[in-house]
Amino acid sequence: MAKILATEVRGGILIEVDKRLWRVVRARHVHVGGRGGAYMQVEVKDIETGSKNSLRLHTDDKIERPHVEQHKMRFLYQDADGFVFMDEESFEQTTLGADMFEGREGFMLPDMLVEVNFYNERAIGITLPTSVTLEITNTDPQAKGATASSSYKPATVETGITVMVPPFVSSGEKIRVNTDSGEYMERA
């Protein structure tokens, strides 16, 4: 098994803690100014039982990454059974349930390449790209004179999720969104 630094932990990856396999749901770097060092606040879900837990890791801690086979797979479509992917090498199709995405299925676009993790020949997780480009289908127009505003407005993107965007962004534009946090990054 390989070890990684706690700062390299991000949503979707698998880690081993206390001889159990966990999928990282969310990871964020926390720095409390002037009091102590920085740490990683990590929310994890047990692969076998589905129970959730929260971990606090020092930034210099080393975490075990279990030996997991990673297959590059292409997202084809979504049906009643789940999300259908095709292996890029063998062309075999695999259907994954929405529970594999931990609420990040709104970032899935047809023909997107992702890494599907297999442990003992069973699909156990998915790693999305760090950001995706999505088109805004609906948002309020910019208010006159609000060019210097620091407030954000809701925008619905092509996959149906809502992203908070700056006031200067309008319908029809493409934006980059962080798949870990769901936050607007920039115009694409």
The SS3 call for residue 99 is helix
Same domain, 119 and 145: no
85-91 long-range contacts, CB within 8 A, separation 24+: 85/114, 85/116, 88/113
Q: Are 39 and 30 in contact (CB under 8 A)?
A: yes
Same domain, 74 and 38: no
Supply the CATH number for residue 169's domain.
2.40.50.140
pLDDT of residue 72: 94
Alpha-carbon span 22 to 178, nearest angstrom: 22
* Phi then psi dihedrals of residue 137, to 5 deg: -95, -25
What's the predicted TM-score (pTM) here? 0.67
**Domain end position, chosen among 127, 156, 177:** 127
Separation CA 186–CA 67 (nearest Å): 35
Q: Which of 107, 127, 147 is the last residue of a domain?
A: 127
> Within this chain, do residues 112 and 136 fall inside the same structural domain, yes or no?
no
Which of the listed residues 103, 127, 151 is the one where a domain comes to its end?
127
Specify the amino acid at residue 8.
Answer: E
Q: Are residues 156 and 121 in the same domain?
A: no
**Residue 38, pLDDT score:** 85
Same domain, 45 and 75: no
The pLDDT score that the predictor gives to residue 141 is 84
Q: What angle do CA 119, 2, 182 make, to 5 degrees?
A: 70
Residues 33, 38, 41, 47: what is their CA dihedral angle, to the nearest 10 degrees?
Answer: 180
Residue numbers of the domain that contains 115? 69-127
The answer on 58 and 7 residing in a single domain is yes
The confidence score (pLDDT) of residue 1 equals: 62
**What is the number of domains present in the chain?**
3
What SS3 state is found at 36? coil
Beta-ladder partners of 20: 17
User: How confident is the prediction along the chain (188 residues), in pLDDT tens digits per residue?
Assistant: 688 888 888 887 888 888 888 888 888 888 877 667 888 899 998 888 888 999 998 888 899 888 878 899 999 999 888 999 999 999 999 999 887 777 788 899 999 999 988 887 888 878 889 899 999 999 988 766 655 556 899 999 999 999 999 998 999 999 999 988 889 999 98
How far apart are alpha carbons 96 and 117 in whole angstroms?
11
Both 135 and 180 in one domain: the answer is: yes
